[in-house]
Structure 1
Amino acid sequence: MPSLIRLLITLLFLGGLVYAGMFALVTFVEPTPKEVNQRIPTRELLGETEAARPGANNLPQPNVTSQPSTGQ
């Protein structure tokens, strides 16, 4: 029975250390926000891929073009 109590006290102590470490991080560390930009090529937005080139494997092409619609 004393070894069980010793184990529980040790686990509680370790849990308290973890909790104290998390509390210290939340209290004393301030994150620095920064803007993130990622360039996406237009051909990926419009669905034009490498398969659209002549001589590439014959995969089905997406129903998206880079031409404006006629508005019908």
Structure 2
Amino acid sequence: MPSLIRLVIALLFLVGLGYAAMFALTVMVDPGEKDITVRIPARDLMAQQPVRLPDAQVTSSLPAAAPVPVTTSAPSAEEAPLVEPGAPE
């Protein structure tokens, strides 16, 4: 039992030294102040575009509306063609 008490006292002493060191650092060390300049690009200062949320499954108790037909068009000449992986270029 005396060795357990000595161990607990030694651990408490080490913890006390740690807290004393932290307290001494907060009292004795002055971090100082300096000016910081942050450059913000002009495009970030302009009006923000609305955020487009990802498509999500929405459930509601309202009746479903008629489906909207989706139209697709052929790629224009300006768009780059899709290259399949492993296909010769």
TM-score scaled by length of structure 1: 0.56
How many residue pairs match? The answer is 50
The 5-angstrom pairing of residues 1-72 of structure 1 reads 1-46=1-46, 62-63=49-50
| Percent identity over paired residues | 56
Q: Which of 1 and 2 has higher RCO (CA within 8 Å, sep 6+)?
A: 1
- Structure showing greater radius of gyration is 2
Runs of 4+ in structure 1 over 6 Å off: none
Q: Deviations over 1:1-40 (max 9, x none)?
A: 2232122112111111111101211221112111111101
Give 5+ residue unaligned stretches, structure 1.
49-61, 64-72
Give 5+ residue unaligned stretches, structure 2.
51-89
Decide which structure has greater helix share: 1
2-structure distance, mates of 1:9, 1:43? 62
